Structure 1
Amino acid sequence: MFLKRIELMHEDIPSFNNYPFSIPAIKNLRQLDLQSKVTFFVGENGSGKSTLLEAIAYKCQFNTAGGGRNNYYDVHASESALGEYIRLSWLPKVTNGFFLRAESFYNFATHIDKIRAHDAYGGRSLHKQSHGESFLSLFLNRFKGKAIYLLDEPEAALSPQGQLSFLKILHELVLPGDSQFIIATHSPIILGYPNATIFSFDNGAIKEIDYEMTDHYQITRYFLLNRKKFLQEILND
């Protein structure tokens, strides 16, 4: 564990009427204590989970379009408006790590091609691999110990089997005790990682929630057990 606490500096925010401070979960945030090596952010689209993750990346001085401290490239609208207004508490502080932003991963792969850094990613251009293969190449080759990893929807390019492979990689990094992960996800498979903390951003506040109480688990379970009935209900509504 490296990052221990995230605080929103309410006294410095000029107005809570403007985005992203108007997001209910962000507006109501005071401090968030992290107590697990793996922390998940869950919630509906627009609930603030990716916004907070991006702000953490900004404070870590990672490229907010995706990458680490040494990845310099620009992507439109990748700046973090929230980043200047949060405080991170570390023990100890680490500077190594990576911010995966699934929606701009193509731009990151192009950046790696331009600087010819393929050796750090398995020796092949990320563009010459499938989307899922490129994600797994990143996890396998770029992720090392004594670092913090911020992942925004890593399941975006991964099949169910790929998500299980990711969990294996995650576990091998977490087990020695010198890697920390904060992951925003919609995947009930990835969310199932044992001994993780799950924070829900729904209902206007950030609250810890059990895996079985997440919509991701409950809706997926209901669908799998009652597929025909479920589809009939939503398609004939």
Structure 2
Amino acid sequence: MIDAMGRSQTPLPHAYPIRRVQESQHLPLARTRWPATVPAVAQLLDQGLDLGRATVLVGENGSGKSTLVESVALAFGLSPEGGSTGAQHSTRATESDLAEHLHLIRTPGGSRRGFFLRAETMHGFYTYLEKNPSTGSPDIDFHSLSHGESFLELVGDRFRGSGLWVLDEPESALSFAGSLSLLATLKEILDDPESQVLLSTHSPILAALPGATLLEVGPWGLRPAAWEELELVANWRNFLSGPERFLRHF
């Protein structure tokens, strides 16, 4: 496609920020040390992981999906408790040191911008924003909103332009309608060929992100799967079709 100035408007392939994540050759992580003892982490260190425009990790609690997501965010330069590369918010460090042992293969000329939405630390991040308002217009009063509203407002306000947009279990604050709204926003973000989404979730709604590579995380490590093949989807279908079958065991 050619614009009015005669310039090509065809999006460049692989223009998103990160093409691959692998172990650093200069600082390898001993496989006997946590989190390398987690199968998904060990697989990434041993084999590396190619990232597409959108990558969604799903799996049970403790499977390692959040550890992987937050480590990529930190290796990219994003704030460990949420925010952009410029955020300096920090309370009590709980993240692993995996990021120090990772090497990101970036796209030449790819965006260095991004944002990390880490669900478990958002309340403290809102206070940080209150104390450090943006230059120009004041920030949204996130504390005055409901939990779900604040998440959606944050995404709408901060996830703009090209960059790496990382979300760790954002559905924790969202209703069914809120999850659909976030899904629509992420789909719009991916209309930009220079933007990239990395997401961990327990939500079958968010796992349905169009065009995303789905990786099921578990004792096997990481395995690609179609949406309808996910254990997450099968479990929800089984429960909704007959909740009494599950409840009789409690």
With normalisation by structure 1, the TM-score equals: 0.91
SS class of match (2:221) = coil
Q: What corresponds to 2:118 in structure 1?
A: 101
How far did 1:11 drift? 7.4
Secondary structure of the structure 1 residue equivalent to 2:228? helix
- Bigger mean CA deviation after superposition, 92-101 or 170-179: 170-179
Provide runs of 4+ in structure 1 moved above 6 Å: 118-121
When the two chains are superposed, the root-mean-square deviation of aligned CA atoms in Å is: 1.9
- Residues 90-121 of structure 1 show CA distances to partners (whole Å, capped at 9, x for unaligned) of 11332111011100001110100001239778
Select the residue among 40, 65, 80 that pairs with 2:81.
Answer: 65
Partner of 2:23: 8
Gaps of 5+ in 1: none
Residue in structure 2 matched with residue 214 of structure 1 by the alignment: 230
Contact kept, 8 Å, 2:84 with 2:114, in 1: the verdict is yes
Distance 1:120 1:12 in 2: 43
CA contact (8 A) 2:83 2:116 kept: yes
Which residue identity is paired with 1:187?
Answer: S
1:17 aligns with 2:32: yes
Question: 1:157-236 to 2 correspondence within 5 Å?
Answer: 157-232=173-248, 234-235=249-250
Which structure has the highest helix share of the two?
1
Match of 1:155 in 2: 171
1:99 alignment partner AA: F
Partners of 1:80 and 1:118 in 2: CA distance: 33
Shift of 1:230: 3.1
CA spacing shift, 1:52–1:131, aligned 2, 3 Å: same
Residue in structure 2 matched with residue 111 of structure 1 by the alignment: 128
TM-score (norm 2): 0.86
Q: Aligned pairs, how many?
A: 232
* Distance in structure 2 (CA, Å) of the matches to 1:77 and 1:17: 22
104 and 119 in structure 1: CA distance in 2 versus 1, 3 angstrom threshold? farther
Partner residue, 1:56:
72
